[in-house]
Amino acid sequence: MRGEDEMADDYGLRRRFTDKEYDLMPIEQLVFSDDTTSETTGETDAIEDASETETGGGGYLRKGAQMGAISRKILQPEYPDRDQPHKMKKDKNKKEPADDKGKPRKDKSESRQRSATPDNQETYVENAMRDFVLYLIFLVIANMITFGVLDHAYNYYANTLSEIITKTQFPTDLGVSKDFNQIRNVPQIWDFIRLILLKTMYEYGTDHAKTIRAGKKDDILVLFENILIGLPRIRQQRVKNDSCSVQAMFKDLFPSCYDYYSDSEEDKEPFGMKNPTAWTYAPPDGDSSSYTGKISSYGGGGYMMNLTTNKIYTASWINELINHAWIQQGTRVVFIDFTTYTPNTNLFCVVKLVFELPPTGGVIPTAHFYTMKFLRYVNTWDHFVLGCEIIFLCYIVYFTMEEFQQMISLKEEYWYSSWNILDLCILLVAYFVIISASIRYVTIATGMKAKVDNIRTSSHASFDNFVRVQRTFNTAAALLSFLVWLKLLKFAALNKSVALILSIFGRVKFELIALTLMMFTVVVGFALLGNMLFGTHVEQFNTIWNSIFSLVGIFVGGLYFYMDCADISPVLAPIFFVLYIFIVLILFLNAYVALIVHGFHKAVEEFDDQRNRIYLGDICRTIMYKILKLVRKGALANKLKDKANTKENKKDYEDLSKIVKKHGYRGLDLSMLFKKYNITPGSPLPVDKMSQLYNEIDAKNQLFLEVDEHDKIMDQVELIGKKVASLDQSMSEVMEKVDKLVAQLLYAEDKL
């Protein structure tokens, strides 16, 4: 029987032997690498180095056994000699690449020894845990910056005000009650302003304020606890009466033409009563910003009027606007802006009500309620968030230096890693967050006092600029939070299941991208067709973008608009949706599933050959083992060690079972074979029993080869026998024919 070290080399097992059993390698001797090198000489050297190292001390985890080496030795024997695997290794040691001739060959054993030293592996574990803990802290800080200043009353504040203004119904001239979102003509705009808006703002006006807020009788209270900062403003923008051209045959009927709104076609001339301020144009001030609506983009100027703190005066002015047709032909948009503030929660609510009037007629209403905390640092918790922001700056400086160091060391290889690209994106977004936060702070700090001073004046306080910088900061911070959580997958890959899932998508990423582009092309084609067929009557298809999103929504069952489409086209609608569901939902989505399954099989095969990878569980168990040893809890440490030993032995048992099954052992035969050599799940695999098992399987292989050769020879003999018998029969037939011919010739001669 061969020696234990030689058998270890033959089987490719990274083990060392104690009393003819496999003992576990300490974690300090592991090589944390994805490369499987069981077929190289470096593996033999690493095994020999590991066998010379004492066990104990730092840990007990080890690389998994390279069972793939066993299958290569057993499944592909080249010679019947029992020492064949050892000879194969010697032959491999003699081979050298042709292009390496003349170059100094790198000593792989030395590099393996350096990577297998306890110091390097302890450094790996320490660095992995340090990076993980540091990143968790950074994750918490980034989310504190994004969500730390949010109050639970954010959504309630905006939703309450929004429901009161947009969901409360009011009577119309048609005798039908409507709400804000159902406004479709100009008279309904005025009905909404008189019956809903003014009632909401002045319902708890000066009389009520006099009873609950002494000394502040001029304040307008909204919802009991909110005061108006500045006065509400109503503003419109118009276009010139010659902004478009009328066809010649209709010029007598329509002498004027009002096009869609644009800056070049904006009307700035006085109209109507031509009195300040509602009838004369006012240019935009520094705090106003442009607005992009559903039809056009509008500037910050226009014809505007500020409301008053007195309900009677305000109602009188509104009636004057109605009587003199302030909203008329040429009006393309009407804005109503006001801002409320509640000191109880330090929250501002910026309200913008928009009524767009397209050239085709009608009204398109839109409402915006922005609940924001412009005064960011007020109480103790806010100053704690400020401290988190300072720590965030330190983290960004540290990560920047680290990324520059990696770029210098890795050079062009740095850009080949998707995780490095993600790190770079996080840094770029983080710097954008810092810049936007600085702009937001400066803008609000320099302009807030002027806004507050407008509380008891007749001026309007525009918060458009504040909203713009605050929304920019919120968007950047939310994007940063998303990317930071996304990078958590990099550390989650230390878990085997997560690493397998990520590997699945990595194996078929290009195929998935190609399939996605194909599916997007088909969806766009259907969207264009749907826009042409149903766009004039169905809201979900009124634009190309809406058509695309509506079709994508069908992926999750959003086919609630089918009946509307069927009412428009009873014949084409079923054909359209049946084709879309069959091509996109059935064919393409099943192709996605097939690709993922294909990637799963590829990833599982590679993971089976990478049992030497270290996962988070291994690191945690090693740290726990060291802690238990440090606090002198030897019994618990040994239990933890035995549990890990049993788990690894079960993996070896499963791998050995797979190899033996490839040789025809199934069911009872397999059980009897393992019982013969006393191989059970969870128990160590002694080398002498492994050697005996190898000899028996190898002998069986040789017997199968001999039987196979014997069968082939017998087949050849039988074939030759059949050919000889066929030749004998042919010769007999030929002789019979010759005899008949000779007899006929003799008979003919006798007659002559």
Contact status, residue 388 vs residue 325, Cβ threshold 8 Å: no
**Does 224 have pLDDT greater than 50?**
yes
Looking up tokens 């397209």 gives: 358
At 138 the pLDDT is 92
Q: CA-CA distances (angstroms) from residue 574 to 429, 528, 569, 581?
A: 46, 17, 9, 11
**Does 168 have pLDDT greater than 80?**
yes
The mean per-residue pLDDT over the stretch 551-572 comes to 87
Residue 171, strand partner residues:
177
3-class secondary-structure state, position 339 = strand
**Does 29 have pLDDT greater than 50?**
no
pLDDT digits (tens, 9 = 90+) for 189-220: 999 999 998 888 776 544 444 444 444 444 56
Contact status, residue 316 vs residue 221, Cβ threshold 8 Å: no
Secondary structure, 3-state, 43-63: HHHHHHHHHHCCCCCCCCCCC
Contacts of 434 (CB under 8 A, 6+ apart): 393, 396
Closest CA to 683 of 730, 728, 650, 718: 650
Looking up tokens 């599982």 gives: 604
**Does 720 have pLDDT greater than 80?**
yes
Q: Residue 387: which pLDDT band, with cuts at 50, 70 and 90?
A: very high
**Mean pLDDT of all residues in the chain?**
77
At 303 the pLDDT is 93
The mean per-residue pLDDT over the stretch 120-132 comes to 68
Q: Would you mind telling me the total number of residues written for the chain in this entry?
A: 752
At 122 the pLDDT is 56
Contact status, residue 538 vs residue 564, Cβ threshold 8 Å: yes
C-alpha–C-alpha distance, residues 479 and 473, integer Å = 10
3-class secondary-structure state, position 153 = helix
**Does 451 have pLDDT greater than 60?**
yes
Q: Residue 118: which pLDDT band, with cuts at 50, 70 and 90?
A: very low
The mean per-residue pLDDT over the stretch 710-716 comes to 77
**Does 107 have pLDDT greater than 60?**
no
Closest CA to 112 of 661, 703, 634, 612: 612
pLDDT digits (tens, 9 = 90+) for 254-270: 888 899 999 889 999 99
At 8 the pLDDT is 41
C-alpha–C-alpha distance, residues 573 and 579, integer Å = 10
680 or 468, which is more confident? Answer: 468
73 or 261, which is more confident? Answer: 261
C-alpha–C-alpha distance, residues 641 and 651, integer Å = 16
The mean per-residue pLDDT over the stretch 402-409 comes to 91
The mean per-residue pLDDT over the stretch 720-744 comes to 85
323 or 28, which is more confident? Answer: 323
Contact status, residue 194 vs residue 212, Cβ threshold 8 Å: no
Number of neighbouring beta carbons within 10 Å of residue 59: 28
**Does 643 have pLDDT greater than 80?**
no
Contacts of 398 (CB under 8 A, 6+ apart): none
Residues 498, 146, 432: CA angle, nearest 5 degrees: 95
Contact status, residue 469 vs residue 443, Cβ threshold 8 Å: yes
Q: Residue 418: which pLDDT band, with cuts at 50, 70 and 90?
A: confident
711 or 205, which is more confident? Answer: 711
C-alpha–C-alpha distance, residues 236 and 355, integer Å = 9
Q: Residue 251: which pLDDT band, with cuts at 50, 70 and 90?
A: confident
Task: Report the range of poorest mean pLDDT among 27-31, 138-142, 624-628.
Answer: 27-31
pLDDT digits (tens, 9 = 90+) for 48-62: 443 333 333 344 343
Looking at this protein, which amino acid is placed at residue 549? Answer: F
Looking at this protein, which amino acid is placed at residue 363? Answer: V
Number of neighbouring beta carbons within 10 Å of residue 490: 17
Bridging pattern class, strands 291-292 and 303-306: unpaired
pLDDT digits (tens, 9 = 90+) for 569-597: 888 999 999 999 999 888 988 999 999 99
At 83 the pLDDT is 42
Task: Report the range of poorest mean pLDDT among 160-174, 506-520, 557-571, 622-636.
Answer: 622-636
Residues 694, 700, 703: CA angle, nearest 5 degrees: 140
**Does 384 have pLDDT greater than 60?**
yes
**pTM check: above 0.75:** no
The mean per-residue pLDDT over the stretch 339-358 comes to 90
**Does 400 have pLDDT greater than 90?**
yes
**Does 92 have pLDDT greater than 70?**
no
Backbone angles phi, psi at 336, to 5 degrees: -125, 115
C-alpha–C-alpha distance, residues 61 and 357, integer Å = 73
